[in-house]
Amino acid sequence: MSAAKRPNQLKWQLWALVAMGGTAGAASREALSLMIPKVDGVPIAIAMINILGAFLLGFLYEALTRPGISRERASRIKLLLGTGLCGGFTTYSSMATDTAVLGIHGRPGIALLYLFGTVVLGACATWVGIIAGSHTDTTREKTQP
């Protein structure tokens, strides 16, 4: 089977895009989580990261539907930035663990606020990202001299 006829999941170049994006995303998450201190024992860095990641995904997927970008290019950008970068950057498993730890340590109200606040703000951030992405213009008009 020729490389052009292979399904996308068998193309190593596409796997490499996801790996590169994921590496950058995970490194960024780790850097931010080390730089942003906990507030009264609440790991706000993870909540902020997840909310920012939700915005980025909303923006990215809406912006890539605009005219002027080829379907193949949009697909590659989605793999690199959406699946890779945002997938490595966001971490809902850490959010779940942090929620459980807060609950176990006698702070069930804070745990629920942390969990639902992150999810609700993440949904709002996605919506804002979609709105922002809908205002992008990927077409480039050539000016005549």
Q: How far apart are CA 50 and CA 86, in angstroms?
A: 9
What are the per-10-residue average pLDDT scores of the chain (145 residues)?
Answer: 63 88 96 94 94 96 86 90 94 93 95 96 97 78 47
> Most distant CA pair in the chain: distance in Å?
70
pLDDT tens digits for range 102-112: 999 999 999 99
pLDDT of residue 8: 62
pLDDT of residue 141: 45
pLDDT of residue 2: 54
Q: How far apart are CA 127 and CA 52, in angstroms?
A: 12
pLDDT of residue 55: 97
Are residues 117 and 97 in contact, defined by beta-carbon separation less than 8 angstroms?
no
